[in-house]
Structure 1
């Protein structure tokens, strides 16, 4: 993997990643996707659309008019963990899910290993074009391979650090959180895909992630225990963390959602964002059509609408993240436009996007299962 983005390129970026927990160590193994019966796919836009999405990312408000015009009824299941998606396909007879989100780290697992992704008919996605999308999202291997489009990126952001500026000065490095005065005053979000690359970076192995040896994995987690020893809590619940910050029991949070800032500031606490020298962890979410989809035409129409510049701007504003549409930038409000220097987007993504550790054991590198076990043991030690 190439070197991580330099902090100087990202000083104006102010995003974090919502919570994600990897809980299925063998998700790509022994998967059966046969269905007991097949429902004929619809041949027109309309009807019920079954969606799996992160809370707040299903575009309920942004696509309200589109749904009404086209007679679409969306039934959404919220994702608390990326593993919630593949869990639907571990056993046979997956439910008829028409659309779901996936983090870029799961591309190979979903497309190559589990084979739960159907190709997208790009003739039905006219908004997916080089004039609309930033180049870093257009026809890139993460979503386009073997001559087929498997996913449609639609939102991006990153994980970083939040801190109470009344309690501590702006951290220049994550290592600043190891100050003895902060013992019991930091929180770590239970976000594996956000924490794992960071864990590797903190011991100088960021360039190797996700291909660490088992010895390196042990070294990385041994070092991260120092941060756990400083922590008041490790939590999957953003609301709980917001309460701890608002009550000033916690001074800094690793891997938090930007909504926490709004909640905490509303209570008079100055929660700010820092981008430490180790850099943020980038992520991109994409829509995909699962193999069990019934309402395929409507799923395509939904994806197309998700890339409309006006919808892109509305979604990015609502979730305090960033659009994949370059045309959407001009439609953002002034504060949203200032969060990122979009002229440097190619530099921001120059290091590539982090993946997940290999599912299969190659005899050299720590596997996905090894990382999950290490993460669970790490959390249990608090």
Structure 2
């Protein structure tokens, strides 16, 4: 807080609806209607509270001086608050606490009572898998039909409802807390993805953030349980489609264990521990360990908060576990699937299979190989751009 003298006005300041979350030395203050939040020191937040409660700047400045023994530059302080959008230029334009749609639906979906069907479905899946090990998701479940094109369409189109369900669960769990969570369609590389924005999550107590963070994984687990139960009950083509979709859902759940990425589990750890930038700190520590192991020069560690340095001592090892999970998923599903498709295509062509099956195989071969070629070219292009001096 600045400690210079200044001339202050005697008129109260009009504010939009603000939220305050005390987190020890810092207080998170923000406007939930526009999802704009800032961290203020505790004394600055206390001064702002006085203004919001109706003190004039002159009164708030005198209170600050009597409480903290310093003179505050109220002009500078008010200019900062105005830049943040906290101050209303006209009392008629004051934005009150925003109303959030689907808050009741979120409260119902994530109530204690909803744990009953969720638990029943998961327990039922576990019982079925103990009695039917053949229903444990395996790469072979993807090829439930001789048509490879149908397999690819099932895996490609069938993933979107479950991707939407994953992100919608995040958004709905945020709405339950009155947050303006938003679900939008975006892309990563050339993949269409759903993304959830929950900027307002920083404005609620830490323990209330866990459910919105885990909601997506909970929906994945529920979807897997329902699909496996459906496969065990229905059989036939329905079972084949259900197991193919279950395989894709399990793969996405395994992806959450890629700790070298910022997945839901990463944000859970960061939230529980109150870290600032655990990802960068852990990567830096792991790289320095590797350089030390090979006898190379070890650079100075990156600047980091103490809580990040402490957590990185063990979280950096989870990065290696994440790489192991990725290798497992590639070896368990991706590579066997590619080998199966390759052998199937070669066999059909060499054994003069019916023309429709040959065309089916060639189309799939082009699509499968093509996506890896495109990904490789994009990777090379990105690397060249990163190396470019401009």
State whether TM-score is above 0.5: no
Q: Which has the higher helix share?
A: 2
Structure showing greater relative contact order (alpha-carbon pairs closer than 8 Å, 6 or more residues apart): 1
Determine which structure has the larger strand proportion and give its number. Answer: 1
Greater Rg by CA: 2
Band the TM-score falls in, shorter-chain normalisation: under 0.3
